[in-house]
Amino acid sequence: MEVKKIAVLGAGLMGHGICQVAAQGGYEVSLRDIEQRFLDSGMAMIKKSLQKFQSKGQLTEGQVAEILSRIHPTLDLKGAVSDADLIIEAAPENVELKKAIFKEVDMLAQPHAIIASNTSSISITELGSATKRPEKVCGMHFFNPPQLMKLVEVIKGAKTSDDTIQTVLDVAHKMGKETVLVKKDCPGFIVNRVLIPALNEAAALYWEGVADRDDIDKAIKLGLNWPMGPLMLMDYIGADTVLAIADVLTKEIDPKFHPSPGLKQMVKAQLLGRKTGKGFYDWTQK
């Protein structure tokens, strides 16, 4: 199937970036959210990001204008999805909310349209079951920020067709992304299933007083060649998000993923990282 029009649902942290890379890939994109202020802030972030690319000489002024002309912000869900070939849902990580969106979109979208979720931990099979087209539902997990991060995890639900997967892989490649295929719908997919236990252990090392913060981050940066240490990375992701994914992995896969007391302590104390100003690092000064 050829995709010409894409609808992105949610203009927030991930949604606006996904919309931008879709428009940069040459697609017409409807960007839909539930309030005008969310659309305004999403569009402002897209413009800022494109200007950054322009100032680095990666895009011309004409290209920036062309990319922006392909983006159509809207509050109207029906208008956004009724002529879309691919709908990418980028709503908050809440299973009931996502299922409600999938159910509604299923009724409004054309029969051939694919509905993909940018979820990082929710079951694609469960989201597919909220629709009458589970064979056309898959996961399309971008990484933050989507404008810069090269990877997209494409996830097959229990009933997702091979055609659907191929179409979504092709779209991701046209957006300039590298893809990996997750053949079984499993919580955390590939990246978070490996990353979350690593972050959890780093938090445990810190709270048990095994080593200082800076030495833990230095050890992993230099010893494993990570671009950023695990404690700093956790401050970027948010300790609450790490805890939420650890809880899902524990419940759905194996008790071995259970979050460390230190990680729980951070969340209780609202030391979530950048979003609250303090985590393992102090972000109020920077």
Give ∠ CA 11-64-16 in degrees, rounded to 5: 10
Q: What is the pLDDT of residue 92?
A: 86
Start-to-end Cα distance in the chain: 47
Enzyme catalytic residues: 120, 141, 153, 192
Give CA–CA dist 249/25, Å, rounded. 34
3.40.30.10, 1.10.238.10, 2.70.160.11, 1.10.1040.10: CATH of 194-276: 1.10.1040.10
pTM for this prediction: 0.90
Convert the pLDDT of each residue in 94-105 to its tens digit.
889 999 999 999
Q: Is residue 286 over pLDDT 90?
A: no
Domain definitions of the chain by residue range: 5-182, 194-276
On the question of pLDDT at 253 being above 70, the answer is yes
Is 283's pLDDT higher than 90? yes
pLDDT at 174: 97
Helix (H) or strand (E) segment spanning residue 71: strand 71-74
Q: Do domains 5-182 and 194-276 have the same CATH topology?
A: no
Sheet bearing 71-74, strands edge to edge: 71-74, 28-32, 5-9, 86-89, 114-117, 137-142, 151-156, 178-182
Look up the CATH architecture of domain 5-182: 3-Layer(aba) Sandwich (3.40)
- What lies within 8 Å, CB to CB, of 7 at 6+ separation is 29, 30, 32, 80, 81, 84, 86, 87, 88
Average pLDDT, the chain: 96
pLDDT number for residue 248: 87
Residue 285 has pLDDT above 90, yes or no: no
pLDDT tens for 63-107 read 999 999 999 999 999 999 999 999 999 998 888 999 999 999 999
